[in-house]
Every structure is written in C-alpha cells, then in structure tokens.
C-alpha cells in the first residue's frame, strides 16, 4: 500500500487518485507486515548484498511480505524481483 499511497501523493490529481485507490482497495484484504516478513527481509537483503545484486529497499520489503504469506507477487518488474530465490512471480502486463 505504501507504494500506492506514494503514487497518490505525488500525482497532480490527488483527490481523484485517492478516490480511485480507495475503490481499488475495497475488495482486497490488507495483511500487516509482521515479524516473519521482517526476518525474511533481513535474509533477502543479506543474500542480495553478498551476491552484489541488490534491489530497491521497497522492492525487498514487498518481496519479503509476499514470501511470508506464501503468495504470488504480481508485478511488471520481473528484472529485479527475479533475483530473489523462491519468490513466485506473475506479470499481468505481458
């Protein structure tokens, strides 16, 4: 949600985009980032730094959350997220 909120905050049409975001979120279950996700984040970041293929901090948090829930991450950013072993990915844009 943080990335979506950022998109609204930086947009030229904040009121319109805030309404659109709230409508988009209505049917979704929002799950908190928990200690398991935090532990997974630590492992992801350490592994990627060791291998010299670090990605953005927000992307690592998103990946850790998906892994902690055992869900598929839907993204158009396969290039970076594919660096994370065991992360299941789907691109709905292609």
Share of the chain above pLDDT 90, in %: 94
Can you list the domains of the chain with their CATH numbers?
2-90 (3.40.50.1010)
pTM (two decimals): 0.86
Share of the chain above pLDDT 70, in %: 100
pLDDT of residue 93: 87
What is the biggest distance separating any 2 CA atoms in the chain, rounded to whole angstroms? 43
DSSP assignments along 51-91, one per residue: HT----HHHHHHHHHHHHHT-PEE-S-HHHHTTSTT--EE-
User: How far apart are alpha carbons 40 and 61 in whole angstroms?
Assistant: 9
């Amino acid at each position: 949600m943080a990335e979506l909120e950022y998109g609204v905050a930086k947009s030229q049409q904040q009121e319109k985009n805030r309404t659109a975001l709230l409508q988009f979120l209505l049917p979704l279950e929002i799950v908190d980032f928990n200690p398991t996700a935090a532990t997974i984040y630590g492992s992801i970041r350490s592994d990627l730094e060791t291998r010299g293929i670090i990605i953005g901090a927000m992307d690592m948090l998103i990946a850790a959350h998906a892994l902690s829930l055992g869900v598929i991450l839907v993204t158009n950013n396969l290039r970076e997220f594919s660096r994370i072993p065991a992360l299941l990915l789907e691109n709905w844009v292609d």
